[in-house]
Amino acid sequence: MDLTLIHNPDAGDAHPTRDELIALAREAGYRVRYQDSDAKDYTRTLDDPGDLVLVAGGDGTVAKVAKALVGHDVPLAIIPLGTANNIAFTLGVRGSPREIIHGLRDSSVKTLDIGRASAPWGPAFFVESAGTGFFGSLLRRVSGQAANVEEQGTSPVARAARNFLRALDAYRPTRHHVLADGEDISHTYLLVEAMNIRSIGPRMVLAPDADPGDGRLDLILLRDAHRRLFAEYLAELAAGAAAAPPFERRCVRHVSMVWDPADGHLDDAPWPEGGSTALGPDSRSAPTVHIEIVESPVRVLVPGTATGSQ
């Protein structure tokens, strides 16, 4: 079988290396074509990807490849090498790179929906979530900043959870105009998240029952009355163990919301990238963004023989 390996060599601790991954795939009987995920023309390899695309990297790399596969009739497999690995976590992908690669021929197939957000500045795909409020505001504020050097001894997930907890204390909720399947549920919220998977950010499980292949979104609505509950959850997450609290949740097919470019995001990046400047000088009001699942999901191979935990 022909396998296209798309790899982020900087993910995690930079192991396994390019050569190690190629050797593992060849050992399992695959003919391998390698592509660095940071190459500008990496999507050209998907014009003729062979029988399988294997992506090795964190959530950003996995999401980038999954979005590029929309409309391609080729399955995707994942070797999670990132910090949170939210997508692999939701899909149940576990095990070492060797276990995953050798287990690909004995895999179940799961469906991974791809979301689409349509805005005046153009449409964009997402895999994890789309939303506005606290999470998006924090993403924009910390984008490009260095890690907190005072907490280098802690795990990246715990460190991120502590940063979220500190930021939550200062964040003030705003009124969000939201339509969920046509129903007006506008209110003052800390965050509004249209979730396609179970968790976002530092493995924050906001939608524990999310099914990434059901053609729907889990709309999470966090009111200021739940701030204390959210803070307790983040503290437990920073300590290494947390049970997802019962946030307000709706299973929906379509969400429309007035989008503040200062705190909107798709997956783990602010959206639009330029913030308010993306609206142009003639814009006088906040835009409305429409969010839904696209009609072409991605098939993901989940090895049933992989063991271990993430």
pTM for this model (two decimals)? 0.91
Determine the average pLDDT of the residues in 226-230. Answer: 94
Instruction: Tell me the per-residue pLDDT of 103-124, one tens digit each, with 9 for 90 and over.
Output: 999 999 999 999 999 999 999 9
What's the first-to-final CA gap in the chain, in angstroms? 28
Q: What is the pLDDT of residue 244?
A: 79
Determine the average pLDDT of the residues in 173-199. Answer: 97
Q: What is the pLDDT of residue 310?
A: 42
Q: Which amino acid type is present at position 170?
A: A
Choose the CATH number for 115-293 among 3.20.20.80, 2.60.200.40, 3.10.20.30, 3.40.50.1110: 2.60.200.40
Q: What is the pLDDT of residue 129?
A: 98
Q: Is the pLDDT of residue 19 over 80?
A: yes
Instruction: Tell me the per-residue pLDDT of 1-14, one tens digit each, with 9 for 90 and over.
Output: 999 999 999 987 87
SS (H, E, C) the chain: CEEEEEECCCCCCCCCCHHHHHHHHHHCCCEEEEEECCCCCHHHHHHCCCCEEEEEECHHHHHHHHHHCCCCCCCEEEEECCCCCHHHHHHCCCCCHHHHHHCHHHEEEEEECCEEEEECCEEEEECCEEEEEHHHHHHHHHCCCCCCHHHCCCCHHHHHHHHHHHHHHHCCCEEECEEECCEECCEEEEEEEEECCCEECCCEECCCCCCCCCCCEEEEEEEHHHHHHHHHHHHHHHHCCCCCCCCEEEEECEEEEECCCCCEEECCEECCCCHHHHHCCCCCCCCEEEEEECCCCEEEEEECCCCCCC
What's the CA gap between 188 and 10, in Å, rounded?
Answer: 40
CA proximity to 179, closest of 84, 269, 256, 232 = 256
Q: What is the pLDDT of residue 182?
A: 97
Instruction: Tell me the per-residue pLDDT of 24-70, one tens digit each, with 9 for 90 and over.
Output: 999 999 999 999 999 988 888 998 999 999 999 999 999 999 999 99
Q: Is the pLDDT of residue 151 over 70?
A: no
Q: How far is CA 32 from the centre of its chain?
A: 27
**2-113+296-303, CATH topology level:** Rossmann fold (3.40.50)
Helix pair 227-239, 156-170: axis angle to 10 deg: 160
Q: What is the pLDDT of residue 146?
A: 41
Q: What is the pLDDT of residue 277?
A: 65
CA distances in angstroms from 109 to 96, 112, 113, 262, listed in the order given: 19, 10, 13, 38
Percent of the chain at pLDDT above 70? 92
What's the CA gap between 19 and 35, in Å, rounded?
Answer: 12
Domain map (residue ranges) of the chain: 2-113+296-303, 115-293
Contacts of 290 (CB under 8 A, 6+ apart): 117, 118, 119, 254, 255, 256
Q: What is the pLDDT of residue 14?
A: 75
Task: Assess contact for 192 and 119: CB atoms under 8 A.
Answer: no
Q: What is the pLDDT of residue 279?
A: 63
| Domain 2-113+296-303 and domain 115-293 have a common topology | no
Largest CA distance in the chain: 59
Instruction: Tell me the per-residue pLDDT of 242-269, one tens digit each, with 9 for 90 and over.
Output: 787 888 999 999 999 999 999 999 999 9
What's the CA gap between 229 and 235, in Å, rounded?
Answer: 10
Instruction: Tell me the per-residue pLDDT of 280-308, one tens digit each, with 9 for 90 and over.
Output: 555 567 899 999 999 999 999 999 854 44
